[in-house]
Amino acid sequence: MKYGWRLLLIPLWALCIAGAALTAFLAAGWIGWPAFALAAVLGLVLGIPGGLWNTRKVRRDDPAWP
């Protein structure tokens, strides 16, 4: 299971960041397609490195990792 953690954590990070950004944009009154596009870009730009970092941390801190 080489890619198991990556397949779980990268989309989780990306979707959580995009959802939080979109919620903030809509709460601020910015309604329209640019808010959705910027939230998606933020999710990808911040979520992929965050998911990779989290994957490495889980592997490093788990004593039972093969």
Domain membership of residue 65 (yes or no) is no
| Mean pLDDT value across the chain | 91
Quick one: pLDDT band at residue 1, thresholds 50, 70, 90?
A: low
Q: Please check the confidence at residue 31 and state whether its pLDDT lies above 90.
A: yes
C-alpha separations of 13 from 7, 32, 48, 66 in Å: 11, 24, 7, 25
Q: Give the structural domain span for 35.
A: 7-58
Asked whether residue 63 is assigned to any structural domain, the reply reads: no
**Cβ contact 47:18 at 8 Å:** yes
Residues 47-66 have pLDDT tens digits of: 999 999 998 898 888 877 66
> Do the domain assignments include residue 16?
yes
Inside any domain, residue 13: yes
Q: Is the pTM for the entire model greater than 0.75? A: yes
Per-residue pLDDT at 12 exceeds 60: yes
In the chain, the number of structural domains is 1
pLDDT confidence of residue 65: 65
Q: Is residue 52 part of a domain?
A: yes
Residue 26 included in any domain: yes
